[in-house]
A and B are shown apart, each in its own frame.
Chain A
Amino acid sequence: MSAVAASVMPAPGVLRRSATFLYRRPGLYLVLLLVPPLLWFGTVYLGSLLALLANSFYAIDEFTAKIVYQPTLATFKQVVTQPAHIDIILRTLLMAVAVTIACACIAMPIANYMTRYASPRAKALFYVGVMLPMWTSYLVKVYAWRLILAKQGILSWLLDSVGLGGALDTLLRLPGVGGPSLSSSYLGMFIVFVYMWLPYMILPLAASLERVPVSLLQASADLGARPGQTFRNVVLPLVLPGLAAGSVFTFSLTLGDYIIPSVVGAPGYFIGMMVYQQQGTAGNIPLAAAFSVVPIVLIMIYLSLAKRAGAFDAL
């Protein structure tokens, strides 16, 4: 028996013997595989985040502008009590909510079409189309949008030439969202945000729609549900996890972005800009850190609300 085996199998080399050694010890194998990525994840990824958070518990000395390494909640207090800071948080939050809702409304029909109705070829084209903007430079896109939305830009020219210039002017006269031109209004900023983050909503939504079997939709129709009822009772509850994932992207990306608000839109500050300014020109690292905690807290609140609403029941 062993003679036969020896004649068939070549003498085991070092590689084969160590492979066998590891195969027999799955625990050791796992540790060897996991340690490098965990080190990266733990130190570089989470560690730097924790270091940042730790900074938010310090404060800056008003006179010397040096960081005082004494744990304090003063910086946080500054963030949540100063009216100017509250304004920034509310403005950013409102924008994030509006962008998220708009992205969801636009993404749902597109994702639905992609997954249910498109031919395999059209589907591939749709996926490429959705991701194509993500492959180009972020800055180029933002500046391109500034030109599109400018006072004498393509969009206003287009609207003028189809006779809708008046409608745009009326829109821009609205208090709050309006401004002298689209490129310097919250409305313009909203459009750019929606454009930028739409793929992040479509992709998870399409992935979760893909997982809803057609037979469930047929069963619903079979039992007497009209298409609207099927959507509300079957499709929507089952894609809620995807919707939640997508909205976490659009929501947190809007909360943290500082380039779009500084290139397009009204002069009001956003959280990201505040972080950028405080850690840069102002040199107030603790305040910047405290501001960057705000999106984390908001996302956590959002997730716990989503969980309570049952968004993850279908997972």
Chain B
Amino acid sequence: MTSAIEFRDVSRIYGDVRAVDRVSLTIAAGEFFAMLGPSGSGKTTCLRLVAGFEAPDAGTVLLDGRDVTASPPYERDVNTVFQDYALFPHMSVLENVSYGPRVRRAARAEQRRRALEMLELVKLADLGERKPSQLSGGQRQRVSLARALINQPRVLLLDEPLGALDLKLREEMQVELRNLQRRLGITFVFVTHDQGEALSMADRVAVFNRGRIEQLDTPRALYTHPATAFVARFVGGANVVESALAQRLSGHSQPFAVRAENVRVMTAGAALPGDAMHCPGTVLDVQYHGATSRWLVKLESGEMFAASSEANAMTAFNPGAPVTLVWLRSDAVPLAAATA
């Protein structure tokens, strides 16, 4: 199977900021691929490098094995769903969707037929005559999707596609995007800062930090076996134990991560299970999240630790209470030494 997208040592530099720093990656055809990271981590720049809105300062970008590093966007078999949807405000929905075939000089009847087909696909068949300003956010999102899919691209790029939608709509669209991708078999690459979205939708996720990929893995592997402290914190919201504390707790200095749901909060001085690590601390705050509760505990060495569990599974501790945090040795995931 050929790769749909390949980056070879790609860098993009703005002034003295390395927005993308020697990134190499391969995305397989038909894959649902997520680029995850905080803002400014280089994920969106990577997407724009694929679309052709930016040119790399170094390295090579390949689409379907063809070097497109110097090709303008209109010569790439790639389409984009923009974060702000970028619908043409002076055109009707139908005109927006048929824009691709129109600028490629398809016959008028053909333009219309394909546009209607696309609107059918995104369930907006009866809104073709409206202007984008007369649509809701969710509807605009679908129009933008239909417009990007009409050229039957090999790759669809989605830039924070769900960012502007409210929670319920976002969950619906997540399912819909996933189904659409399976049905069409197109490679989807989507950029998000929401780790839940990336984990629930993607086949593979690249976690970006400071212009580099920290880890590229399946969602499950990212969550259960984060490779670095950054991934552990950003993806799993896990507690990271740095070398000094690790030395004291486990006997050697390799840092490790423990996810909050694996940490139990116990009364100070309670009997401890045998194969566990433990650490004294003071409860700082308890947050009620409905199904779960989350404890913030300050360790004696000053670090903050989070523990979560089903709301009523643990004794209620008030802020200020001395407690012992306990977790199984097998739940401590060793991390690569700090990457700064």
Contact = CB atoms under 8 A, between A and B. Distances in A.
Contacts of A219: 80, 82, 86-88, 147
Contacts, number: 67
B273 interface: no
A216 interface: yes
Contacts of A216: 86, 88
A215 interface: yes
A224 B86 contact: no
A218 B73 contact: yes
Contacts of A223: 74, 79, 99-100, 103, 147-148, 151
Contacts of B147: 219, 223
Contact of B86 (A213, A233, A238): A213
A229 B103 contact: yes
Contact of B99 (A213, A218, A233): A233
B238 interface: no
B273 to A, nearest CB: 56
A220 B80 contact: no
Contacts of A213: 84, 86
Contacts of B108: none
Contacts of A234: 88
B248 interface: no
B297 to A, nearest CB: 40
Interface residues of B, number: 25
B72 interface: yes
Interface in B60-89: 72-74, 78-80, 82-84, 86-89
A62 interface: no
Interface string A212-252: 01011011111111100100011001100000000000000
A276 B102 CA distance: 53
A158 to B, nearest CB: 40
Interface string A284-315: 00000000000000000000000000000110
B53 interface: yes
Interface string B236-268: 000000000000000000000000000000000
B51 interface: yes
A238 B132 CA distance: 14
B105 to A, nearest CB: 10
Contacts of A218: 51, 53, 73, 80, 82, 86
B168 interface: no
B84 A215 contact: yes
A222 B90 contact: no
Given A221-B74, A225-B74, A226-B74, A215 B86 contact: yes
A215 B144 CA distance: 12
A284 B151 CA distance: 68
B149 to A, nearest CB: 11
Contact of A221 (B73, B83, B88, B89): B73
A292 B83 CA distance: 52
Contacts of B86: 213, 215-216, 218-219
A229 B100 CA distance: 11
Nearest to B102: A233
B90 A313 contact: yes
Given A218-B82, A220-B103, A224-B74, 12 more contacts: A213-B86, A219-B82, A221-B74, A222-B78, A223-B74, A223-B148, A224-B104, A225-B74, A225-B99, A233-B102, A233-B103, A314-B90
12 contacts: A215-B84, A216-B86, A218-B51, A220-B88, A221-B52, A221-B72, A222-B51, A223-B74, A223-B100, A223-B103, A223-B147, A224-B151
